[in-house]
């Protein structure tokens, strides 16, 4: 019997993932509500151990082609050897898959936790953290735009008062969206501002950039965020060195981050480094930012959505999938 776990914002979406990955014969073993994130289902499926396996124990040609395509994609995305081998070992255990994307999706699901940002009302602030230039402010703007389009009342707090132009950029976004923007220059001020806007359906915090190699800056960030109920999201860009990404993820995980959002996919072609960071820091993968346009929003990550990003369909191997392709 094969067991798999699926996480999605709603029960309907989770059931769709079960059907997509395991077919209509899958049996739901357990369900779990995840506060602020959705639901998690565990499904079971009986497999014919002889299906798609040759008499000598090797994989049938169709499955071997899928394995080769998936492994090639991991190499192309500069996955560190340790993570690539773990994924390949998991894929090699499979007896059948509808496509290379689904084969890879199953392995990704075994290694990573997927927990997209909540779209409903949440009592805790969502605090976006990261190193300089990671794309925090744009991530805040996109999250706010998505909530506004769903008729949510949104408020934004910024603690980024030192960076030149930081306040002006966020102010322009919030003005267009007609939502409140307040500034906090100290931990006590953050606590006070949060109390003033607590009735909002969703409160977003754009924090000041932190150098992950300076414990003093991580400490200041922790001091700020410890004053209010929040969930901390690390914004980490695609295309960076794997070891650098791991250092960043570990530093911010020590500072309280629980999820990782991958940014700057519009200007980067390789995801191995960012994903290695999530694995190293034990951070849940939530969303990706695929364009620089605020209105285009964020793509929620699932095992299959991530596999589609890693293995483009029906196009040149170096081509990146579009927003609509990943969302299918």
User: What is the residue-wise DSSP string for 118-130?
Assistant: P-S--SSEEEEE-
Is pLDDT larger for residue 98 or for residue 261? 261
User: Which pLDDT value is given to residue 181?
Assistant: 93
Under a CB-based contact definition with an 8 Å cutoff, are residues 9 and 38 in contact? yes
266 is written with which tokens? 């519009």
Is pLDDT larger for residue 81 or for residue 161? 81
Is pLDDT larger for residue 239 or for residue 318? 239
DSSP string, 284-295: EEEEE---S-GG
Domain ranges of the chain: 1-46, 125-301
| Distance (Å, whole) CA 326 – CA 328 | 6
Under a CB-based contact definition with an 8 Å cutoff, are residues 234 and 247 in contact? no
Under a CB-based contact definition with an 8 Å cutoff, are residues 54 and 29 in contact? no
CA 301 to mean position of chain CA atoms:
5
User: Which pLDDT value is given to residue 178?
Assistant: 92
The SS3 of residue 280 is helix
Residue 60 has pLDDT above 80, yes or no: no
Under a CB-based contact definition with an 8 Å cutoff, are residues 220 and 193 in contact? no
191 is written with which tokens? 């606590």
pTM equals: 0.80
Residue 265 has pLDDT above 50, yes or no: yes
pLDDT in tens, 130-161: 999 999 999 999 999 999 999 999 999 999 87
Q: Percentage of the chain with pLDDT > 90?
A: 63
Query: At 317, is the pLDDT very low, low, confident or very high (cuts 50, 70, 90)?
Result: low
Determine how many CB atoms are found less than 10 A away from the CB of residue 261: 29
27 pairs with which residues across the strands?
44
Buried b / exposed e along 5-40 (16+ C-beta atoms within 10 A): bbbbbeeebbbebbeebbeeebeeeeeeeeebbbbb
234 pairs with which residues across the strands?
129, 260
- Among 28-37, 69-78, 282-291, name the one with the lowest average pLDDT: 28-37
DSSP annotation of 320 reads P
pLDDT in tens, 166-199: 688 889 999 999 998 999 999 999 999 999 999 9
Residue with tokens 């930012």: 289
User: Which pLDDT value is given to residue 326?
Assistant: 56
60 is written with which tokens? 């049938």
What average pLDDT does this structure show over 98-103?
Answer: 89
CATH of 125-301, one of 3.40.1030.10, 3.10.20.340, 3.20.20.70, 3.40.50.300: 3.40.50.300
The SS3 of residue 90 is helix
User: Which pLDDT value is given to residue 320?
Assistant: 61
| Distance (Å, whole) CA 288 – CA 298 | 6
286 is written with which tokens? 């939530």
If you count DSSP H runs as helices and E runs as strands, how many of each does the chain have, helices first?
A: 12, 11
In 3D space, the residue among 272, 208, 256 whose CA is nearest the CA of residue 73 turns out to be 272
When the pLDDT of each residue in the chain is averaged and rounded to a whole number, the result is 87
User: Which pLDDT value is given to residue 124?
Assistant: 94
CA 266 to mean position of chain CA atoms:
15
What average pLDDT does this structure show over 260-278?
Answer: 95
Is pLDDT larger for residue 61 or for residue 285? 285
Q: Which of 21-25, 57-61, 91-95, 180-184 has the highest mean pLDDT?
A: 180-184
| Distance (Å, whole) CA 279 – CA 296 | 27
DSSP string, 2-34: EEEEEEESSHHHHHHHHHHHH-TT-EEEEEEEE
What average pLDDT does this structure show over 99-108?
Answer: 92
What average pLDDT does this structure show over 279-289?
Answer: 97
pLDDT in tens, 31-52: 877 655 567 778 887 754 434 4
């Amino acid at each position: 019997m094969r067991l798999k776990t699926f996480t999605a914002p709603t029960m309907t979406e989770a059931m769709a993932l079960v059907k997509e990955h395991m077919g209509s014969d899958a049996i739901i073993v357990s369900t779990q509500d995840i506060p602020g994130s959705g639901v998690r289902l565990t499904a079971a499926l009986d497999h014919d151990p002889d299906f798609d396996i040759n008499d000598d124990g090797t994989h049938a040609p169709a499955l071997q082609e899928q394995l080769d395509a998936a492994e090639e994609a991991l190499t192309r995305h500069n996955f560190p050897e340790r993570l690539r081998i773990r994924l390949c070992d998991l894929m090699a255990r499979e007896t059948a898959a509808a496509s290379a994307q689904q084969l890879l999706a199953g392995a990704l699901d075994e290694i990573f936790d997927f927990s997209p940002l909540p779209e409903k009302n949440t009592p805790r602030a969502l605090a976006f953290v990261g190193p300089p230039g990671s794309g925090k402010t744009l991530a805040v703007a996109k999250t706010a735009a998505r909530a506004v389009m769903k008729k949510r009342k949104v408020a934004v707090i910024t603690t980024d008062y030192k960076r030149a132009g930081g306040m002006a950029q966020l102010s322009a976004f919030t003005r267009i969206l007609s939502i409140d923007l307040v500034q906090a220059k100290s931990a006590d001020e953050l606590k006070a501002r949060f109390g003033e806007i607590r009735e909002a359906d969703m409160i977003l915090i754009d924090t000041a950039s932190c150098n992950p190699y300076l414990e003093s800056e991580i400490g200041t960030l922790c001091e700020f965020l410890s004053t209010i109920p929040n969930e901390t999201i690390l914004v980490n860009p695609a295309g960076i060195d794997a070891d650098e990404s791991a250092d960043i993820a570990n530093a911010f995980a020590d500072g309280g981050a629980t999820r990782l959002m991958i940014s700057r996919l519009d200007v980067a072609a390789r995801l191995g480094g960012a994903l290695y960071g999530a694995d190293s820091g034990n951070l849940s993968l939530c969303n990706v930012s695929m364009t620089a346009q605020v209105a285009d929003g964020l793509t929620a990550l699932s095992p299959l959505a991530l596999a589609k990003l890693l293995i483009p369909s029906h196009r040149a191997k170096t081509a990146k999938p579009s927003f609509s392709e990943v969302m299918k």
